[in-house]
Amino acid sequence: MSWSPLQAQEQTQSQTQAQSQAPAPAALSGLARFDPETSRVADTNGGVQVDLDLSQGVPYRAYTLDAPKRLVLDFREVDFSTLSATRLLQGDKVLAVRAGKIRPGWSRMVLDLNAPLVLRSANMAIDRATGRAALSLWLEDTDADEFAASAGVPDIAGWAPPKPGEGKPPVARDPHGPLRVMLDPGHGGIDPGAEADGAVEKELMLSFARQLKEVLLRGGDVEVMLTREDDHFVSLERRVAIAHERKADIFISLHADALSEGGARGATVYTLDPDASDAASRALAERHERDDLLSGVDLSQSDDVVADVLMDLARLESRPRSDLLARAIVLALREEQLPVNNHALRAAGFSVLKSPDIPSVLLELGFLSSESDRGNLLDEEWRNHMAVAVADAIRAWAIADEAAAELVRQ
Ligand SMILES: [Zn+2]
Read off the pLDDT of residues 74-133 as tens digits, 9 standing for 90 and up.
777 788 989 998 899 999 999 988 887 766 667 788 898 999 998 888 777 777 778 788
Cα(219) to ligand 1 centroid in Å equals 28
Q: pLDDT at position 316, please?
A: 63
Start-end of CATH 2.60.40.3500 domains in the chain: 27-150
For residues 156 and 134, is the Cβ–Cβ distance under 8 A? Answer: no
pLDDT, position 23: 36
Tell me the percentage of the chain whose pLDDT exceeds 90. 38
d(CA 306, CA 123): 7
Residue 292 CA to residue 289 CA, distance in Å, equals 5
Stronger pLDDT, 146 or 202, i.e. the higher one: 202
pLDDT in tens, 335-379: 999 999 998 998 877 777 878 789 999 999 999 999 999 999 999
Query: 17 CA to middle of ligand 1, Å?
Result: 24
Q: Which helix (H) or strand (E) holds 365?
A: strand 360-367
Mind listing the pLDDT tens digit for each residue in 153-169?
665 444 444 333 333 33
Point out which residues pair with 117 in neighbouring strands: 141
Q: Give the pLDDT score at 70.
A: 86
Per-residue exposure over 170-201, b if at least 16 CB sit within 10 Å of its own CB, e if not = bbbbeeeeebbbbbbbbbbeeeebbebeebbb
CA 2 – ligand 1 centroid, Å = 6
Top-ranked range on mean pLDDT: pick from 63-77, 129-143, 271-285: 129-143
pLDDT value, residue 203: 97
Please give the distance, rounded to the nearest whole angstrom, from the Cα atom of residue 1 to the centre of ligand 1: 3
Q: With the C-alpha atoms ordered 220, 221, 227, 230, is the resulting torsion angle positive or negative?
A: positive
Ligand 1 centroid distance, CA of 351 (Å): 12
Q: Where are the beta strands (DSSP E) in 30-150?
A: 32-33, 40-44, 47-54, 60-65, 70-75, 78-79, 89-90, 94-103, 106-113, 117-126, 133-141
> What does the pLDDT read at residue 404?
74
What is the reported pLDDT for 318? 76
Query: pLDDT tens digits, residue range 289-322?
Result: 343 444 444 444 445 555 555 566 666 667 889 9
- CA gap 132, 346 in Å, rounded: 26
For 27-150, CATH gives: 2.60.40.3500
CA atoms within 13 A on the CB side of 178: 12
pLDDT for 320 equals 84
Tell me, in angstroms, the distance from the centre of ligand 1 to residue 222's CA: 26
How many whole angstroms from 193 Cα to the centroid of ligand 1? 5
pLDDT confidence tier of residue 20, bands split at 50, 70 and 90:
very low
Look at domain 173-409 and name its CATH class: alpha beta
What is the Å distance from ligand 1's center to 254 Cα? Answer: 7
The predicted pLDDT at position 201 comes to 93
φ, ψ for residue 228 (rounded to 5)? -145, 135
| Range(s) of the chain covered by CATH 3.40.630.40 | 173-409
The mean of the pLDDT values for the chain is 77
Going from the Cα of 134 to the center of ligand 1, the distance in angstroms, rounded, reads 40
Residue 218 CA to ligand 1 center (angstroms) comes to 27
Distance from Cα 307 to the centre of ligand 1, integer Å: 31
Q: Which helix (H) or strand (E) holds 376?
A: helix 371-378
Q: How many CA atoms lie within 13 A of 355 on its CB side?
A: 32
